[in-house]
Structure 1
Amino acid sequence: MTMSNRRPGLTDRLGARFTARGIEPVVPFIGAGSLSLLAGALAFQYLGGLAPCVMCLWQRWPHLVVVLVAGAVTALAPARRVQGAALAVMALALLVTAGLGLYHVGVEQGWVTASAACTISGASPDGATDIAALRAAIAGAPRAACTDIAWSLLGISMAGWNALISVLLAGIAAGGARHIFKR
């Protein structure tokens, strides 16, 4: 079967639908990528029983920004220039999480020192106030040390995979933004 007479696949049909609505297909693609990374992290946490460390939690916030921006653009279908700006924001957020992931890898490998926020405290509630009890409960929640590698694949930790995939997605988002602004 040659390329000219091949049947359109799912991605072709989805891309055509987004394009017909005035949405750059790369926007929901990037959003789906970040959503997948978030879902994977939550699955490891809640289904796999791997408690996240503080830096693991930090890496999730930029992905949430990407998902929200992509969702808003997909739902509202704004002008192309706005979509280009949204892609630039998504690329920046993805570079932030990639940077946090690289820093986390450095901490895991002992190349850099962990921040004070990465220390595990065992604070216990003294029952002074409701806020104090809440803070103690949060501090006492299961949390891993930032220096521990809870899971790895091919010698790369979750933080490393987050950094690699986030850089790839950031490149695609930046390329999409550049494409829009060059027109």
Structure 2
Amino acid sequence: MNFELTEDQRLLRDAVGRLMAETYGFEARRAHAREPAGWSAAMWRRYAEMGLHGLLVPEARGGHGGGGVELMLVMQALGRALALEPFLAGAVLPAAAIEQGGTPAQRAALLPKLADVSLRAAIAHAEPGSRGHPTDVRCTAYFNGNGWLLKGAKQPVLQADGADLLIVSARVSGTRFDPDG
């Protein structure tokens, strides 16, 4: 196995690390925390300009086409700076959910917008009492002829307050812990 970073991965690591080192000192972080959202909209745009919001979005959909290693490199740099921006909850998870669970039409329409930050999305998956179990979904959905109706509760929904789109997990078949429902 080869554990060496590729040239592109080294460039990504260095670019994000440099951005954070140059712009995210303690005083800047303190100022970001005082912003209305509790994080910096300007830094959010800087991440987008670097293509970070499209990190896991396929290149054909306007993204970087990266994978786990690229995500790890970005998350290390953000973590080192104690970045406040909701990168995982507001960029990575919504893109991954749409890529893995969306229809071809949804992927074509939504992924480019997530990558260029013209759309903000949030994941509504956690439920009261689920304790983080990924298949503990009690929320149900059924089609009534006009559209889908949801019944259940989701909490917490990170970044829901600023989202244009909520991606809600719901069971259409099976029982509470069924991974295929």
Q: TM-score, normalised by structure 2?
A: 0.26
Structure having the higher Rg: 1
Greater per-residue helix proportion: 1
- Bigger relative contact order (CA 8 A; separation at least 6): 1
If the length of structure 1 is used for normalisation, what is the TM-score?
A: 0.26
Structure with higher strand content: 2
